[in-house]
Amino acid sequence: MLRFISGKFLFMLLSMFLLITATFFLMNAIPGSPLQGEKATSEAVQKNLEAYYGLDKPLIVQYGKYLENLLHGDLGISMKMKFRSVDKMIAESFGPSLRLGITALITSVVVGCILGILAAMHHRKLLDNLAMTIAVIGLAIPSIVLAPTMQYFLGTKLGWFNVAGLDGPLDYVLPTIALASGPIAFIARLLRSTMIEVLGSDFIKTAKSKGLSGYVIVVKHAFRNSMLPVVTYLGYLTAGIITGSVVVENIFAIPGIGKHFVTSIIDRDYPLIMGITIFYAAILMLTRFLADVAYVLVDPRMRSGGKVGK
């Protein structure tokens, strides 16, 4: 177990280093400069700006300097938001995204599992069709359509919710639905197909013949065995959902981190691009890592060190 973890950890560090290097040089290869606005500035101002942000030095020197600062935990200051440190910008905007993301994550898992189990237990019956219809709709309607529709009908027309902002608990409802509808559908379908397979296997038949009730079988035996693919998916989902969605954030005016992924590139805000990429990668790697550990915990076969294809 320890070897497994330390191996994974080393691999994470290496990936991170490669990612930082690739992002740094790719970012500098994009045409356009963070210091070039639409209005022409004099050469002197341009030079002053370059000197200020260290852009007047050769790229490799800038890279070395960046790595050095990074080792000291310094992500630099934003070039667009004057004098705002990148770590502060990330920390501030991550809060709302995290809160909303966790709400959406829990909703996805709970609702997705319920729909999936119902569908599997009533395979090819009305409930199955109903649950899968809901799932298909959730998967088919993108949040860019779902969110404004809900905003208009439930917010403006019916007045049940605020159309924007994240001030009270009720404000979480619409963005959560917008964020969770896709994952709910995915989890439901994933769980349904695995569970139908599991429900048909021998050990379930044995359990049934022992006289266990349908409820006990599903919860104690089938569910646990059907969770593996869902747990794997959760690793990806968590990283994606807690780092915000630029669409949902823009529509509901949520001060989250998602927009930085887009605006930092548009602004050519180099330190913010780097910071946000490293941050996202760290979360992605961490959640993948946790998913791997959870995988081992859920599936005893993994503990013995035997390799099982994922």
Partner 1 sequence: MKGKFKQSAKFLSILVIAISMLLSACTNNGDKPTANEGNTNASNEETKAPQEFRFTLGSNPPSLDPALMTDAQSSIVAAGLYEGLTRLNTKGEPENAIAQDITVSEDGKTYTIKLRNDVKWSNGDSVTAHDFEYAWKRALNPETASEYAYMLYYLENGEKYNNGEATADEVGVKAKDDYTLEVKLYAPAPYFTSLIAHYTYLPVHQATVEAAPDWASEAKSIVSNGPFILTSWAHGDKLVLEKNPNYFNKDAISFDKVTISIVVDNNTVYQMFETDKIDWIGAQAGSLPADLTQQLIKDGKAEVTPVASLYYYLFNNEKPPFNNVKVRKAFAMAIDRQSLVDNVAQANQQPAYGMVPPSISVPGGQDFREAYPDNYFTDNVEEAKKLLAEGLAEEGLSELPEITLLYNTDDNHKKLAEAIVDMWRKALGVEVKLANQEWGTFLETRKAGQFDIARSGWGADINHPINFTYDLIHSKSGNNDGRYNNPKVDELLNNSLVAETSDKSIQMMAEAERIAIEEDMAALPLFYYTTVTMLKDGFTGVVSDYAGHLDWVHGSKQ
Binding partner 1 by CB under 8 A: which of 129, 201, 206, 213?
213
Residue where the block lists tokens 């290496």? 14
Min dist. Cβ of residue 294 to partner 1 (A): 26
Of 122 and 288, which CB lies nearer to partner 1 in the complex structure?
122
Contact 243, 283 (CB under 8 A): yes
Per rule CB under 8 A, is residue 26 in the interface with partner 1? no
Site for partner 1 in 29-58 (CB under 8 A): 30-33, 35-42, 44-45, 48-49, 51-52
- Output the smallest distance, CB 274 to partner 1, in A: 16
Contact 244, 257 (CB under 8 A): yes
Return the number of the residue (147 or 291) whose C-beta is nearest partner 1: 147
Minimum distance from CB of 210 to partner 1 (Å)?
14
Task: Return d(Cα 286, Cα 283) in angstroms, integer.
Answer: 5
Task: Using alpha carbons, select from 281, 256, 254 the residue that is nearest to residue 97.
Answer: 256
Residue among 11, 17, 160, 203 that touches partner 1 (CB under 8 A): 160
Given the complex with partner 1, which of 4 and 53 has the nearer CB atom?
53
Q: Is residue 252 a contact point for partner 1 (CB under 8 A)? A: yes
The DSSP 8-state label assigned to residue 162 in this structure reads: -
Residue 61: enclosing H or E segment and its boundaries? helix 59-71
Q: Binding to partner 1 by residue 114, rule CB under 8 A?
A: yes
62 interacts with partner 1 by CB under 8 A: no
| Phi/psi of residue 279, nearest 5 degrees | -60, -45
Exposed, middle or buried, 182 (CB in 10 Å: 0-12/13-18/19+)? Answer: buried
Q: Which residues of 279-299 are buried (b: 16+ CB within 10 A; e: fewer)?
A: bbbebbbebbbebbebbbeeb
Q: Which residues of the chain form contacts with partner 1 (CB under 8 A)?
A: 30-33, 35-42, 44-45, 48-49, 51-52, 80-85, 89, 92-93, 96, 114, 118, 121-122, 127, 148, 151-152, 155-156, 158-165, 170, 173, 213-215, 249-253, 255-256, 259, 263, 266-268
